[in-house]
Structure formats: C-alpha cells, structure tokens
Structure 1
C-alpha cells in the first residue's frame, strides 16, 4: 500500500509540478471582463522558435513579475502584459524579454514547498489603464480564514479541454489545512504547511491546473497566494495548493529586488 501511495504521489508531482503542456489552465469558470485584471502576466517560453504561453504571473514592480518556481524555463522567456486575447495583436499589450529568473533557493521539484520565483524584466513595464502593479500583502503573516472566497485568472483549458484564447477566471473557497491534510484529502502527501493555502470550488467542478501555475490568488481584493500544485482535473477532495505569500517570502523578495515591497504605493486592483 505504501509503495502504491508513493507511486501515485510521484506521478502527481510529475504531472503537476512540471508544466510540460503549455495549454492547460483554468478548468470551468468564465471569461474575465477584458482588461479587468491589469496586473496579469502571460509568461511565455521559446522552445520551438516560437513564444508560447507557459505560466501565469503578476507584475509587482515595473521590472519584476512574481510567479511559481516550477515555471522556470530553460529557453528564452518573455512576458506579455496588458493582454486579454493572446492571439490578437492588441494595442494594449507589452511584450518584454526576461533578463533573469530567480527561483527560490530552497525550491525542490519533488515538493510544492517554496514554489515561488521572481522574473527580472529586461526593461521597465509602462503602467497605464491596461498594465498596473499588484500590491504584495501588507499584513504579512495574517492567515486566511477557511471559507473565504478567492479568485484566480488565467489563459487556457476550459471544461471542453480546449485552450482558451482569452483570460478566464474561477471562484474558489479556502479550505483549512487540517482538512486538506486529512486522509480523505491529501493525507500529508504532500504536507500542507503554514506556507501554503488550500482552495477549491465547493463541488469539485472548477479549479486551476498546470498551465495556470504562477497566477495570483486574490482573496478579498488582496494578493495572497500563487498557483502551485493540484490534480490534473478538478477534484473536491484534491483542492488546489497555493504558495501563501508570508513574511518569509516577502523578506526574500525584498532581498532580491532590494526594496521594501510591502510598503509599496497603493494601486487599484481593478
């Protein structure tokens, strides 16, 4: 039995932590209002002489995007800001090459621990009504109560298993860590720590998946988490796992960027 559990766990890690198929993202949900989430970044990796959407992220400074560490790309990377449709050459879009990727030094692909990464852009993003910064948490270690409603947005797969060209969003609810670690849920495989958030819809019909990795989890208009880990298909007993942006990570971000990120000027989310 232990051998079977270990095999299933390793298989899940391979499926979820390695975003090999760029088109898998929001399952269910609905199309977002165009340009209603101006902080969203499409992270695109060039593997076949063409940039393709790979992960999501959030613009937190003019030269910095925050995403998940397992979204690290071995080839050239660019981010697209100000987009609603990725196939259309929208005038609102800004395409900027990534100068350097900074995955958290303690991240290990075998677990979702420390699944957070900074992308340094080669030039500054120009903020306007289509492109805005997303504030990092100012309340630092304040936890999120179970049952709170959150949203995640991303480009990609829908219920019909076909990629979406336009930005979609899904509504989720926070699940307490004790429940998420219980035998009926993840059974500590992986261990849901205080640096993670569990969230799903209440019927197991909608969720995030691989290609949505790195996208921001917004709870009560606050940036609280990063899409990290979850099953290939929505499952009420296998909720999505999100990196919780705690003081530990804020301190690391400050060290990399060189500014006190949680004292940034307020920007409207919408």
Structure 2
C-alpha cells in the first residue's frame, strides 16, 4: 500500500512537471508571434526574432545580401499598414511589381531591408504608379499583370543597388524568399529572414492543367516541386543572377499545387523603359 502511494505521488509530480513545460513552451510561442518592431515612418509593424543572433552566426545574412533589391509593398487603406506583395528595385528609383499589388484608394510604401548587419528596414513613399493599360483586376486570366512605381529616395542618404532587366530570355532562375509568418486571421507579416530556391521553367501545359491558363510569351510557368514549403501566399520575384526575370501573377492555390505563374519581365522591357522615360537598361 505504501509503495503504491509513493508510485502515485511520483506519477503526479511527473504529470505536473510535464504540464509546466507545455505551458512554458506555449507562452514562448505566443511571445514570439506577438513581438513587433515599430517603424514610425511607415506606421507599420514587423515581426522580429526574439533571440538575438551574432552577426558571424547569422547564416541567412549572405542570402539577404544576395537580393539587396528585393522590396516589399505595404498598403494602408484605413489606419493600419499591411503587407501586400513583393517587388524588385530597378533603375534606382523604380520598382517592378505585379499590377494586382496596387489597390485603388489605398496608400502604398516600399519597404527595403537596407541594413543587413542589424536587420533594419526602411520604408519609402510611392510617388505614383504606372499600371499596364490592358490589365484588368477582375479578369480570370493573369495577362498584363505588371506595374512600375516610382518611390521617393531623394531625401534619404541611401545607395540602392537595383536589379537589371533586358529582352533576353533565360533558362535558369532562382526565387528570392523574404519569409513571412501568418496569424490566425490570415494576416501576413514579414520577418528579417531570407531564403532562396532554385526554380525552373516548365511546360505551359503544367500551369494549364492547374489553372486553365493558355500561355503566351508574356507568362512563365515555374515548377516548385523540388521545394517542400507551402506557397499559398505572395512570394518572389525570380532572378537570373542580378537580372529580374519575373514577378508573381498567380500563386499556388493550395499546398498540393506546385506550379506558379509569373509575368515575364523581359517581354515588357520596352514598356518599362517607356514608362520610366529611360533610354537604356540598368
């Protein structure tokens, strides 16, 4: 009887310890998810890591430096800012992004991770947009889903390295992944963490089977089957070295679909140069 009581006491103590560990773990996750870094110039919140990592231990630092021109678009239609989509800086003061990124009546800003050593971002106001004249937001086909926007960097002592673009097609490319986290209400936040994946162009028939889209030269079907992550949110753009290849037009609708549709930036080279009043690439 005495042995049974001792055994029961031990079991109860173990159970209490297990519950305490579980509560502590859940609390840590909640703190990690809710921690925010406030940027006054954007009135925007950004998820940051609660654990400080020394510079020489930050394995993602070289990847972030690999894509200095990757930008995020913030959108404000009420009193709060939210992540909208990704873009790439071109011609120093311009970005190329998807036309569906812009929402009529909203204010937009460009967010750049411009201090890699300290994981600091800076946002810039967008002065004006140029949406492709044939783009229709309600169209079921993602044609002409491209836009350029000029952002204000004149008042900031910042040197921005832009990506390049031209009319030549490429066979290989990689996707820039500025990682995001989502909340229970499906709101996405950026974290200061990057990844990159090698992606490949595939037959347009693959995207036709997934989305029923008849392709032309203005679209690129990208195969994501070699990557385990689930891309049901905005991501990209895709690059060939420092050359901008495509911006996202159609994201995978669920975790089982491993193909994405990108707008072929090379197809719109002349259009971009015309809209930015530029006579050469750069």
Q: How many residues align?
A: 217
- Deviation for aligned residue 1:99: 1.1
Q: Which one has a bigger Cα radius of gyration?
A: 2
Secondary structure of the residue aligned to 2:176 is strand
* 1:38 Cα deviation after fit: 1.0
Which blocks of at least 5 consecutive residues in structure 2 are unaligned? 1-45, 47-58
Q: Note closer, same or farther for the CA distance 1:257–1:172 as it changes in structure 2 (3 Å cut).
A: same
Q: Once superposed, what is the RMSD of the aligned Cα atoms?
A: 3.2
Q: How does 1:10-159 map to 2 (within 5 A)?
A: 33-73=63-103, 74-83=105-114, 90=120, 93-109=121-137, 110=139, 111-124=141-154, 126-128=157-159, 131-137=160-166, 140=167, 142-145=168-171, 148-157=172-181
Contact 1:35 1:83 in 2 (8 A): no
The unaligned stretches of length 5 or more in structure 1 are 1-22, 24-29, 265-270
Match of 2:260 in 1: 240
Q: Output the TM-score relative to the length of structure 1.
A: 0.68
1:235 deviates by 3.3
Quote the Cα distance in structure 2 between the aligned partners of 1:253 and 1:174. Answer: 24
Cα distance in 1 between the residues matched to 2:266 and 2:110? 25
Indicate the structure with greater helix content. 2
Q: Is the 8 A contact 2:83 2:190 kept in 1?
A: no
Q: 1 or 2 for the larger relative contact order (CA 8 Å, sep ≥6)?
A: 1
Residues 259, 52 of structure 1: alpha-carbon distance in 2 compared, 3 angstrom cutoff: same
Aligned partners of 1:165, 1:121: CA distance in 2, in Å?
Answer: 22
Q: Establish whether residue 251 from structure 1 lines up as the match of residue 281 from structure 2.
A: no
Per-residue CA deviation, residues 99-151 of structure 1 (Å, 9 max, x unaligned), is: 111111111221210111111113436553xx3111112xx1x3333xx3522
The 1:203/1:81 distance shift into structure 2, 3 A limit, reads: closer
- Return closer, same or farther for 1:64/1:201 CA change in 2, 3 Å cut-off: same
1:123–1:168 Cα change, 3 Å: closer
Partner residue, 2:195: 169
TM-score by length of 2: 0.65
